[in-house]
Every structure is written in structure tokens, then in C-alpha cells.
Structure 1
Amino acid sequence: MAGVSLRVRPVAADREFIVPAPLLRRILLCLAIAAPAMVFRILGLAPHPVLDLVIFGAAVVAASFMLAWAAEAAQKDISGALAIAILALIAVLPEYAVDLYYAFRSGSDPAYAQFAAANMTGSNRLLLGFGWPLVVVVALIVARRAAAARGVTGAGLPRALELPKSSRLDIGVLAMVAVLAFAIPLMQAIAMWFGLVLILIFIAYLWRASKVPDTGEEEFVGMAAHIVELPERQRRILVVSMFVVSAAIILASAEPFAEALVESGSALGIDSYFLVQWLAPLASEAPEFIIAVLFALRGMGTAAIGTLIASKINQWTLLVGSLPIAHYFGGGGLDLALDPRQVEEFVLTASQTVMGVAIIIALRFHRWSALALVALFAVQFVVTDTSGRYVLSAIHLGIAVVLFWVHRRDILPALAAPFRRSLLEPADDDREAQLAR
């Protein structure tokens, strides 16, 4: 392969281990960015909260990129909807590490309970309010340019991102967990039994995703494309190595990064809750957003939005379900109690999720829906009082009711999808054909 700059001859093999130069450069860059954090961690250095925040935050972002490249390349060996679900799970590992640390710490220090909820609700709303629209807009721009190049004009240009029928599995599961999510503010806590139910739903979702048939050959972009070009044995060794190294960096950086977020708020005179809710998710979600945009730029909009939808499911099931467990092992009780502010955040996050489900339940993501999501997401930064947040939640639910009524024929197929043996039943094909006509 041209452009090779690293050759290692394994002891038990006769073939050289070759890493493409572009990939090697980026891996070394990520390791160089993460190196100061590892030095700080090993030596126990913590000179200043803001400096710690920058050093450990940079390490989390750098490791997240390596983790995301490896996760995407792993789809070469794990195909189908299960690969999308696993990719989404691995891509949000940095967020899990930070969030679970806050939940664990809350077991001995109740003040940290608010930060566990803050990080989860912030990342969840960021994913849907910014990530989904970003991918859809990019995918539609690419699709419209491609159509225009073929001579298509006016009404013939694509106005919505069409999702495959297999997406009904994700939509159906997300719809169910979105409704279940309202139990959390009603209980004013994340109960241990409820967390276990959410984890069981996640396990069932992974099992069901493994049964979805492949829809075609997987395409890869960016650094993942360089990885999958390697011979099978070398590819798997490299992917596993990247998983191990990036996970180690993330786990080593999670605690000091989480602590620096809280302490930096006091040092800078900024609400620590705000930093935990938005700065941490921006760092952990950035690689996932970039990969999704790369998919969209390559004309793979359905794969891009599919990854982000799966991430949303992971957050509402495995992440939320794990919080009371981490809280318990940190010395707390069986339930992770929520204060009024956290209750308000969960209501707002759950209502936004319901609206998101209503938007995609018909397997079409229109550009106006993407713009509406961004606008409503931006409004929450202006409307900060409790009553205003509940009004915004009501607006989310009101829009969802209207969309569910418009797409009422799609509700039962979506809710039934997680329980069907096949997601491509003839009855669905006939109904879709009638709607198209």
C-alpha cells in the first residue's frame, strides 16, 4: 500500500504489520494530545481547575476520535443494524464515563447527584436538537446537489431524508422508552428497579437488532476507510488496540475531567451545572457528530441518522439505567433522588424525545422539521425559568400530538416493529406503495 510509514514484523507472523500514513499521523496526533493528561494523572498533578479542564478535556476528545474510528471500522466484521447499535454504544463511552463518575460520587456526596442528571439531559437534548438536524440538513444538501447534477429541478428535488423500513425498530424502541421516561420525573428519582428495566430493554434491543437482515455492503469514510483496507488479521489487531488505548485514556481522564468541570465553574464564576450539562457533552459527542456528518457528506444520510437515533436509545436505556447502580456502589441508596431542577430537566428532555419520535415515525425527516428542532433547542437557552421550561415541554408535546395525528397510520407499524419477526413484511410494502400513489 502506498504512503506507508510504519512497518512492524510480529514475532509469530511472517507478514509485516502496515499502518497507512494518514491514519498513523492522526493516531499519533491523538496520543500526543492525550499525553499531558496521562502525565498529570500518573504524577497526581492538578495545578488549576481551568488548566485541568483543558488538559483532560482535550484527552477525552482525542481518545473519543480514536474510539469512533475503531468503532466504525469494526462494522466490517459486525454487519447490519447490530453494528449501528454497537457503534452508537461505543461512540458515547466518554459520556458514560463522566456521567457514571458523577452518579458514583453522589453516593457519598449528594451534591453530585445533580451533575449526573445534568450531563445526561444535556447530551440527550444536544444529540436530538443539534445532531439530528445537522445530519439531515447536510444529507439533503448533498442529495439536492446530486439531483441537480442529473438535471432535476423544482419540485423534483428531495425535500426529506427517507429512512429505510428497518428504522422502525429503532423508532419503536425509542417511542417506548420516551413514554417510560416520564416515570422518572413522576417518581422524582431514578429507582434501581426502573434502571434495571431500562437495561433489560437495551439488551432486548441489541438482540432484536442482531436479527435485522443486512441491507447491503457497508461503506466507510475517513480514517475508518484506511483501517478496513488492511488485511483481516491486522485490521482486527489494530481495532482492538485502538479500543483498549482510547478506553484507557477516557477512563483515566473521566474523574479529573469531571471534577475540573465542577471546580472550573466556581473559579470562573460560571454555573457549574451549566458547564457539566453542555461543555462535557460537546467534548464527548463531537467525534460522533463528525462521523455522522462524514456519512451524510458521502450521501449516506440514512446511516448517519441511524447512528444518532441508536445513540439516543443507548442514552435513555443503558446510560439512565446505569446511574442508580453507580450511585448504589458509590455508597448511596437504591434510588437516585432528583431535586426540582432535575425533574424539570427530565420533563424537558423526555418531551423533546417524544417530539423527535413524532417527526421520524413516518420514515421521513423533512428539512422544516430539522429547522424546527434547532429553533426549539435554541429557545431553551433563553427560557431558563421553571415555568418557561414546562411551557416549552408542553409545546414539544403539542407538536408531537399534531404530527402523530397526521402520521397516525404509521404509529402501529412503528410500535409493533420491535416485536415482529421481520421488519419487511409484505403488508407494510403494500401500504407504503398505496401511500406513495
Structure 2
Amino acid sequence: MPYRSSMKHRVQIALAFALTFPWLVSFFLKIQYLPHIEAFLSGLAVLGSAFLLSWAAETAEMDVPRSVSLAAVALLAVLPEYAVDGYFAWMAGKVGGDYIHYATANMTGANRLLIGVGWSAVTLVAMLKTKRKEVELDKALNLEIFFLFLASIYAFILPLKGSISVFDSVVFVSLYAAYAYLTTKSEREEFEPEGVPEYLCNLPAPRRRANVLFYMFYSGFIIFISVEAFSEGLLGTAEMFGIDSFLMVQWLAPLASEAPEFIVALYLVRKLRTSAGFNALISSKVNQWTLLIGTIAVIFSISSMRLAALPLDARQSEEVLLTAAQSVFALAVIMDRKVNVYEAAALLVLFLIQFALPSVHARIILSIAYMALAVPFLVLHRKSVVESARYVRSLAKR
């Protein structure tokens, strides 16, 4: 690797570590800050850790069996998001009150950001790079599409019964387990590291593995000591400035944990690896829409010291409904493995509308709009729906 390129990557690694240092020092020195400063510093630590974890996970693909890497790498990449949501679910069981709302807020916000911003941005950037009005996606996405479709359809049950129960957790976790197992049998794009992982992969094997292990353990430690301060700092900031704490948790918390995924995906698209970039985001969506939502009730029950369903009030039910409707529409759009400029714009615009119309009725109307738009796509792409099911069945028989 050219010296200038390797120097650039070393600087990027140093910057990621630098983001974690202010909070690391503050934690050990027990320095107290105002809520917004605490949220900022601990949020930077989560962001830096997320980058290090993402690079380590991708580099690890060079040394671990493919059957392990495909499922584990995607899971590690969304660990920061799991940590934040897990904290709110734990506090919901311990303290109750508004924390019950925050667990759902963080989960729905993260899922909607992935589609509304992530999927649309990757598609639009790819079109700009290739100067085409349509992007073709990998046929192997049949697997993700199938399991996301099942999870999205099941998710409509949650607002109807007003809770996320342990039984729901069993369903969602089982979907993820089946997906992870079948992923090991699917055909994927060959591992081609880019950016920092490319630099790490060019290191001698002992040094490379040592770096990967250190990044993973260091990132996990930083996330562990940061997640409570970040979460509570956001709530304190919202109270200090008179901001809706639900919205703070729903959108600002996922931004810090999701940023590396967006950046990595956009980097791959810039290298004209559109399918690889899109695969990274849709794999994260599968993780978050199955395993993340599935662990909420489990953590809530453990924290409560009893089997308990996480209750959903009217607002949370609407948020889950809207998230499920958005997922179905997004899947209907990509069902034929093609996305044009109008479809990508629709994903982005419909996502942004919710901020202009934040009322209860608006969320319900937007959910209906998503489903109304999804139906024609599902009818038009009905053969692709069958193709996805056949593809998954063929994998199961291998």
C-alpha cells in the first residue's frame, strides 16, 4: 500500500481513538459536567468506538471462517445501537416511567433512520456516481428481503395488542437465528476491504489480529462506560432546553451509533461497490428489526425480575406502526432488486414529512400512505416475492 494512503488511514484510526479520550479521562477522574456537555463527550466516545468496532469487524473477515463472519460482523457493527437501547430497556424494568417509552423510541428511530436516510442516500449517491437513473442490487438480497418482510408483517401485531412480550421476542430472535444460519449458505460478494480495513488487512497477520482484538475490546469497554452517561445526558439536555425527550432519544441517540454504518456504506458506493454498500445497510436493518426489537422484552423482564411484556402506549404503538409500514414500503420498492431515482426520493421525502407533521393523526395517515403505496409495488413485483421465498427454500436445502 502506498505510504500516503497508509498514513491517511493511520490518521483516521488516531482520530477515532481521539474521539474516545475526553470521556475516558473524564470517567476515571469522575469529572461532573452539565447534561449537554456529558451527552456530547460520551456521544463522541460512542461514535469513535463505533468506527473502531466497524473497522475491526470488517478486518476480522480475513481471519475467521466465512460462516462466522457473515453473521457476526453485521452484529458487531450495530453493537453501539444495541447498547443504548439495552440501557433504556434495563432502566424501564428497574425504574419504569418514561424509560418504558424511551426503549421503543430508540428502536423505532434507529430503524427508520436506516431506511429513510441510509437506503435513500446510498441509492442517490450511487446514481450520481454512475450517472444512471436506476441502481441494480445484488440478487443475494433475496434472503434479507424475505426475513425483513416476515418481521415487518409480524410487527403489525405489536401495536394491536399494545405490548412487546417475551413470546414476541422468541419470534423475532428465531427469525434472526434462521437468517444468520442461512446467511452462511448464501453466495456473497468476495471480501474486498476498503479504507481503514484495507490498511489493517495489509499488516502482518500477528499484528493485524492483535489490532482487531484490541479495537474490539477497547470499543466494547468505551461503549460500556459511555452508554449510561450518553443516554442520561440526552434526557438531561432535553429537560434543560425544553425539548421533547422522546424525540431526543428517538433521533439523536441513533445518529451517533448509526453514523459509521452510513459512512462505510457511502464509502463503498463511492468505490462503485453499490451492492456491497446496500448490503451493509440492509443487513443492519435485519439485525435491528429482528434481534434488537426481540431483545427489548428480554432485557425488560430480566431487569424486572419477572416475565413481563414491555407496554406500548398510544404514541409508542403509532411509532411501531409507522416503522413497520415504512419497512413494508421500502421492501416493496427493492423487491425487484432495482431502485430508481423516484423511488429513492420517495423513501427520503416520506421520512422527512414526519418531522413537518409530528401529530398523532399525521403518524397514522403516514402509515396508511406507506401501505397504500406499497400495495401496487407488491402486486407489480409479485413474482419477485415468490422468487425470494424459493431462494430461501433452496438455501435451506443445501
Give the TM-score range, shorter chain.
over 0.9
Contact kept? 1:198, 1:321, Cα under 8 Å: yes
2:113 to 126, 129, 140: 126
1:49 to 25, 35, 46: 35
Deviates more, 1:326-335 or 1:358-367: 326-335
The question of 1:59 aligning with 2:36 is answered no
Aligned to 1:366: 340
Tell me how far 1:222 sits from its aligned partner: 1.4
Deviations 1:16-63 (Å, cap 9, x if unpaired)? xxx954443333322222112112222333321011011101111111
Aligned to 2:167: 193
Aligned to 1:77: 63
Cα separation, 2, equivalents of 1:345 and 1:423? 38
Contact kept? 2:106, 2:254, Cα under 8 Å: yes
Cα separation, 2, equivalents of 1:30 and 1:322? 29
The question of 1:270 aligning with 2:257 is answered no
Unaligned runs of 5+ in 1: 5-18, 145-157, 425-437
Contact kept? 1:84, 1:310, Cα under 8 Å: no
Tell me how far 1:421 sits from its aligned partner: 2.8
Aligned to 1:307: 280
Cα separation, 2, equivalents of 1:423 and 1:369? 34
Contact kept? 1:82, 1:206, Cα under 8 Å: no
Cα separation, 2, equivalents of 1:303 and 1:81? 18
Tell me how far 1:85 sits from its aligned partner: 4.2
1:40 to 19, 22, 26: 26
Contact kept? 2:336, 2:384, Cα under 8 Å: yes
Tell me how far 1:214 sits from its aligned partner: 4.2
1:103 to 86, 89, 105: 89
Cα separation, 2, equivalents of 1:378 and 1:81? 38
> SS at the partner of 2:94?
coil
Identity of aligned residues (%): 36
Contact kept? 1:73, 1:224, Cα under 8 Å: yes
Contact kept? 1:72, 1:224, Cα under 8 Å: yes
The question of 1:172 aligning with 2:152 is answered no
User: What's the TM-score once normalised by structure 1's chain length?
Assistant: 0.86
The question of 1:384 aligning with 2:349 is answered no
Contact kept? 1:80, 1:212, Cα under 8 Å: no
Deviations 1:348-385 (Å, cap 9, x if unpaired)? 00000000110111111222110010000010001111
Aligned residues, how many? 396
1:35 maps to amino acid: F
1:86 to 59, 69, 72: 72
Contact kept? 2:182, 2:396, Cα under 8 Å: no
Aligned to 1:280: 253
Aligned to 2:102: 115
Tell me how far 1:166 sits from its aligned partner: 1.3
Aligned to 1:13: none
Residues 79, 394 of structure 1: CA spacing in aligned structure 2 closer, same or farther, 3 A cutoff?
farther
Larger Rg: 1
User: What's the TM-score once normalised by structure 2's chain length?
Assistant: 0.94
> SS at the partner of 1:107?
helix
> SS at the partner of 2:395?
coil
Deviations 1:288-316 (Å, cap 9, x if unpaired)? 10000000000000011111111111001
Going by fraction, where is helix more abundant, 1 or 2? 2
Unaligned runs of 5+ in 2: none
Tell me how far 1:99 sits from its aligned partner: 0.4
> SS at the partner of 1:218?
coil
Cα separation, 2, equivalents of 1:113 and 1:40? 29
